[in-house]
Chain A
Amino acid sequence: MTALATPAATMSNPLAGDPLLRVDGLHLSFGGIQALGGVTLQAKARDITAIIGPNGAGKTSLFNAISGFYRPQQGRIRFAGEDISRTPTARRAAKGMARTFQNVALFRGLSVLDNVKLGGHTRLQANPLTAMWYFGRAQREETRLRAEIERDVIDFLEIDHIRHQPVAALSYGLQKRVELARALAMQPKLLMLDEPVAGMNREETEDMARFILDIQEERGIAVLLIEHDMGLVMDIANHVVVLNFGHVIGVGTPSEVRTNPEVVRAYLGGDFVKPIVPDAAAQAQGIAL
């Protein structure tokens, strides 16, 4: 009887055709400002789904709605065959949804290892009292979790040399990797990465791309990715969703999206390889005025 969820259960999903995540007609506005105007998308297990779009397109709002930080006014979110539209954030996480944040959101007072172990929090069963005495089951759980995290997360992401350092002392690239490690420690079914390579140099970006591909290939985790680095998106994504002003304007494989005339006209401006200029559309408008 194991207290830790096994990823095997998620890999052999009986609903093989059913996407792991299905977002249906999501409407979200803040006062009079519409962030999402009926967004529909799917993320399949073993796929890397990229969400692209200019700044302000609603990508992070969409992530926050999927995580449960924002409550959309309309629409449904289904995850692993279950309607989670009204489920609180922490419970969604416990169901297998892990994410990283655009601005690194590590606990700065804690070491790398403590940060990563917090990701395993939801998979432990002991309550505050048994955990307090650190007896029997709590201790066995803790030991097992620790060993598993060492092997599957710390060694896998090559951060073993920094595990006892305080996160505040690390470079930005390493902090992002620790954040990914913490999300992986949750053994998620869905991994949501908000701009995983933003602000990284070439080498760090390539490392991160390799880790994301390994995660997808070796663990069958569905990856949902927001990214401005078009080179990375075109290289690793199986499926691309283009968002603009809160609407999906294009869906398909990277090659389909890059030739989709609407996407090219509205957003890529014909030069899809370059990183997207923030708010290209708004700038064009400004010049026209």
Chain B
Amino acid sequence: MLCDSCRERDAVVHLTQIVANAVTQLHLCERCAAERGVETTVAAPKHPLGDFLQAVQQQLVPPSVDAGRCTFCNATMRDFKATGRWGCARCYSTFEASMRELLRRVHGSSRHVGRGYQPPRSEMMERAGLLGDLREQLRRAVETEQFELAADLRDRIRVLE
């Protein structure tokens, strides 16, 4: 079968489109398919999460969400899609809505019912919280080009670290 577009090369991609309830079939060669933005090869996931999880991630991540960044580790949904791993604990709050849906699909539930936990109330814990806040302030300071404030924040972070 020849490509519907160039009519030169063999069609290797068979695309079924549904537009306004009308079904059309398009047979394309690899080059024409690529020109139309149709992916002809699917990269294997780099991590043994399985195709299932990769598919779920792709469905779950609308392009608009990609713009969001975790305020602590700077990770984006794109990073998650690439690695299958979250960047830090705060990602769970940053991407909470997508997270809930993802967890439901993976585990059949998004609510932990196992053992509860109270972190130790210690200087270490308070320092960890403060560090997170300072890092966030530093990020904002850099973004808004307040370099003096940024330098000050960086020094305070170094002391705490």
A, B from the same assembly: no
Q: What residues make up the interface of A, taking CB atoms closer than 8 Å to B?
A: none
